[in-house]
Amino acid sequence: MKILFTGFEPFGKMDKNPSWELAEWVKQEKFPGADVRAEGLPVIFQTCAHKALDIIKSWNPDVVLHFGVAAGRQTINIEQTAVNIEHAPDTPDNAGDAPADRYIDSGGPDGIFATIPVRNLTENLQEAGIPAEVSYSAGTYICNSTLYRVLRFINDQELSVKAGFIHVPVTPDMASGSSLPSMDLEVQKRAVTQLIATLVKEEENRD
């Protein structure tokens, strides 16, 4: 199966982004049963989804797994939904855009559910001893916007590709000097491996 994996560049006050580091790691890693392509995306509202949409059109993946960091999350968060709002008055994106209550797509639905098996993936991580939860809000920043734009395109075009978003906590070095919860990058890598293995197994069971 073909999987598109994406991470984001650093943004705001962060000088690194674990999701970007995960994408760099995925590029060099082999995953049994999966052809995984990893890319970095910009933290810019207007263009965050462009590269992913281009690759969906040209490469035709079976699954798209977007990854991003969310400071304050304690566990791997598998996102259930994306909402049709961009709201970040205090956190301009990397192009200086700081929208307030802006629709992503004025003609689109209020919300769109992720199409990866959110519950199964979460339970599989938990069974593998990795802290994970289903999340019912991906926020109103770039991550939510990316998921919304990608799901909207897939639904619009009636494509069979599944898409979802996974938020990861900051790494311990990023949390030092604060009370932010953190998760080591090695544990995050194990989560990626486990998520991909679960998707491969689900596909084999379908065949």
Residue among 8, 31, 45, 148 that touches ligand PCA (CB under 6 A): 8
Distances (CA, A) of 203 to 122, 185, 206: 17, 27, 5
Q: What angle do CA 160, 166, 168 make, to 5 degrees?
A: 165
Sketch the per residue contact string, 30 through 69, with ligand PCA: x for CB under 6 A, - otherwise: -------------x------------------------xx
The encoded tokens of residue 67 equal 């990854």
Q: Are strands 76-79 and 63-69 parallel, antiparallel or unpaired?
A: unpaired
**Annotated catalytic residue 143:** yes
Q: Would you say 17 or 80 has its CB closer to ligand PCA?
A: 17
The CA distance from 112 to 76, in Å, is 20
The encoded tokens of residue 157 equal 């075009």
Q: Would you say 82 or 200 has its CB closer to ligand PCA?
A: 82
Sketch the per residue contact string, 104 through 133, with ligand PCA: x for CB under 6 A, - otherwise: ------------------------------
Is residue 153 involved in binding ligand PCA (CB under 6 A)?
no
Q: What are phi and psi of 121, to 5 degrees?
A: -60, -40
Interaction site with ligand PCA (CB under 6 A):
8, 11, 17, 19, 43, 68-70, 139, 141-143
